Amino acid sequence: MPADLDFPVIFLLPSHLGSEELQELVEQIPTLTYDINEAEVILGKISRKERALFELRKRKLVTEEVEKDERTPPASPPRKRIRLSATPALGSSDLDSDTCSEGEIQRRLVGPVSVPKVEPTVKVAKLSWFTDSLSAGEVLPLDDKYAIYRGRKAMQPPPAPASVQTIPTKSTSNLLTRAHEDSHPRTPPSSQKRYSSQGSSQKPGSTYASHPVTKTPKRPALLRQTTSEHDLDTHLPPIPPCLHTTYSCQRSTPANPPNQDFISLLLQIRLARTLTGDKIGVRAYSSAIATVAAYPFPFQTQNEVARLPGCGQKIALLYQEYKTSGTLKEVEEYESDPKLQVLKLFYDIWGVAETTAREFYDKGWRDIDDVIEYGWDGLTRVQQIGVKYYDEFLLKIPRREVEEIGGVILKEANKIAEGFGMVIVGGYRRGKKESGDVDVVLSHRDEEATRGFVERIVVGLERRGYITHTLLLSTANTERGQEPVAWKGDSRVAGSGFDTLDKALVVWQDPNYEGGGRNTNPHRRVDIIISPWKTAGCAVMGWTSGTTFQRDLRRYCKKEKGLKFDSSGVRSRKDGAWVDLESDPVTGEPAPDMLTAERRVFTGVGLEWREPEERCTN
């Protein structure tokens, strides 16, 4: 197992890695760090020194190449790593043991005994070094076969602050600096903005000094433990069998787990990573959050956290901080950082992803008014609608209203063709009291009834005044004969994971209101998905489950079953043939209803049935 190998601290470059490959590596590397300045080895799918130097420059890590005659290791014995009894899955492997003596109040960090000397060097290595080490069952030497570049980290004082700043930032804003370095460098904007939302003149994009900030290389922090915590560690509840797997689709994840307050803080850190483009950080935190959410006991000690898959020292240290202070410094920095708050403002525009939010910021825009005044004509139609109804789309939808919207859709469907069934999916089916949007799956036993049906129901609801705008109308499933999406082989570049069922993403407003004048009912986001009956169970399963559950379901089907799961059906990865999991295995009769079909999909892929309320992965 990779966690048994004594790897150095590794930073993973996301360039040229597909989403599934990236996720697998994040889970396999036991000493993964999110901070490139902490890394001893920088691992990536690269093969040339020029590319390695580019990656270092992009992340503002200044190094000086080590000449060949300087590479001979010292004669002193190698440093030893102190490990926890449980193997961490993420973060550094440099952990204190839990062997404190009687009467010891707290572990103390005493000189070189507790903190090994940091060698300020870094190696950029080919990805094959890590994978070959796993295959060999030992950490292979980083010789010229694997090492692309060896450099000594520069030890420089930070540069003087820039003379012009658009938005004041705290010098201690470690979250933004770290996340920014882990993702992409800023691109100077091409135009200047004449005013800011704060009312001061400014030059767009000059928030940061033009000089790179060089940090002194540091070893990751060590876990500390009191005697009482040590005593608790000897009476920890056993890890539930379902948490020995990395697939969240194999375990129960309730809506309100025992450690929800801690999870809420982790979600905010993940959001900050999302806004700054740190893909590895986002996936690592997603895995950790899914594990913590599935843990059925309130945490008592940091070692209880560190032993869980997907957590390790990084999350254990965060829990230690949370237990001490009731909050996390990174979250406080995120909430007080002006740039991240502006990015969050743009990210909340429907139709604007994190990359576009950063583009808006780099143009010098700081609020919605800036987007309207300086960028309206450059927005897509969907983004314009997202800006127009910005405040209304942020309003939550109570369950009663979700049910009313679903009832109108089902009534209209059966008015067009009698016999349609419907399941309200998404957060509503997982038990949320309020939803951000409404998702419904419609299906009919007669395959001809679902062919092209999405266009007819949209027209009908528009005529009745319920649909005010259509954001997306897809008939991809009808166009390919309502067959499950084709399997094109492992060499195909990974897509977004968005299924290809017929669907309409629309803006909805109840046309019924009292009094005269303008309709004041809020505009809502509604997704209408149409599935043929033979794969309706896959559609309901995919659109009901939480994001991480869906991601792990696809990964589980690929790795464990040799199948490709999609909300439009399941195919074999051997020959691309459709696999019918929803018909009766004895009689071949179709499922009697959509919920029975969903249960049969769980059985067909070898998973234990999970109620929708148990699939609440964030």
323-351, pLDDT tens digit by residue?
999 999 999 999 999 999 999 999 999 99
pLDDT in tens, 432-449: 999 999 999 999 999 999
504 conformational bin, left if phi > 0, alpha if psi -120 to 50, beta if neither: beta
Cβ–Cβ < 8 Å for 605, 282 = no
Q: Which helix (H) or strand (E) holds 537?
A: helix 536-544
Residue with tokens 């999970």: 610
Give the range with max mean pLDDT: 17-26, 68-77, 306-315, 589-598: 589-598
Give the per-residue pLDDT at 85.
38
- The CA angle 158-164-166, to the nearest 5 degrees, is 105
Residue with tokens 């009697």: 592
Give the range with max mean pLDDT: 48-62, 195-209, 220-234, 561-575: 561-575
Q: Which of 85, 134, 107 is nearest to 239 (CA)?
A: 85
Measured CA to CA, the distance from residue 237 to residue 256 in angstroms comes to: 20
Longest dimension (CA), the chain: 88
The phi and psi torsions of 212 (rounded to 5 degrees) equal: -70, 140
* Span of 217-226, 418-427, 573-582 with lowest mean pLDDT: 217-226
| Residue bearing the bigger pLDDT, 52 or 427 | 427
Q: Are strands 438-444 and 421-424 parallel, antiparallel or unpaired?
A: antiparallel
Residue 376, pLDDT > 60, answer yes
**Residue 153 bridge partners (DSSP):** 63
* Span of 47-51, 69-73, 89-93, 353-357 with lowest mean pLDDT: 89-93
Measured CA to CA, the distance from residue 297 to residue 287 in angstroms comes to: 18
Q: What's the burial of 143, exposed, middle or buried (CB within 10 Å: 0-12/13-18/19+)?
A: exposed
Mean pLDDT over the full length of the chain? 81
Helix (H, G, I), strand (E, B) or coil at 360: helix
The phi and psi torsions of 590 (rounded to 5 degrees) equal: -60, 160
Residue with tokens 């490990």: 83
Q: CA gyration radius for the chain?
A: 27
Q: Which of 156, 249, 282, 189 is nearest to 606 (CA)?
A: 249
Residue 490, pLDDT > 60, answer no
Cβ–Cβ < 8 Å for 344, 337 = no
Measured CA to CA, the distance from residue 115 to residue 449 in angstroms comes to: 69
Alpha-carbon separation of residue 323 from 229, 300, 318, 319 (angstroms): 12, 9, 9, 6
Residue 214, pLDDT > 50, answer no
Helix (H, G, I), strand (E, B) or coil at 397: strand
- What is the band of 365 on the pLDDT scale with cuts at 50, 70, 90? very high
Measured CA to CA, the distance from residue 92 to residue 72 in angstroms comes to: 25
Cβ–Cβ < 8 Å for 271, 344 = yes
Q: How many CA atoms lie within 13 A of 411 on its CB side?
A: 9
Note the Cα 310 to chain centre separation in Å: 13
Measured CA to CA, the distance from residue 27 to residue 38 in angstroms comes to: 19
Token readout for 38 is: 């902490």
Note the Cα 197 to chain centre separation in Å: 30
Cβ–Cβ < 8 Å for 65, 151 = yes
Neighbours of 231 (CB within 10 A): 11
Q: Which of 336, 305, 337, 342 is nearest to 320 (CA)?
A: 305
* Span of 43-57, 210-224, 462-476 with lowest mean pLDDT: 210-224
Give the range with max mean pLDDT: 69-83, 301-315, 538-552: 538-552
Q: Which of 223, 449, 444 is nearest to 314 (CA)?
A: 223
The phi and psi torsions of 279 (rounded to 5 degrees) equal: -65, -40
Residue with tokens 């060590």: 222
Residue 80, pLDDT > 70, answer no
Helix 329-336 to helix 260-275 angle (10° resolution) is 50
- What is the band of 91 on the pLDDT scale with cuts at 50, 70, 90? very low
Mean pLDDT of 405-420: 98
Cβ–Cβ < 8 Å for 254, 546 = no
Cβ–Cβ < 8 Å for 235, 24 = no
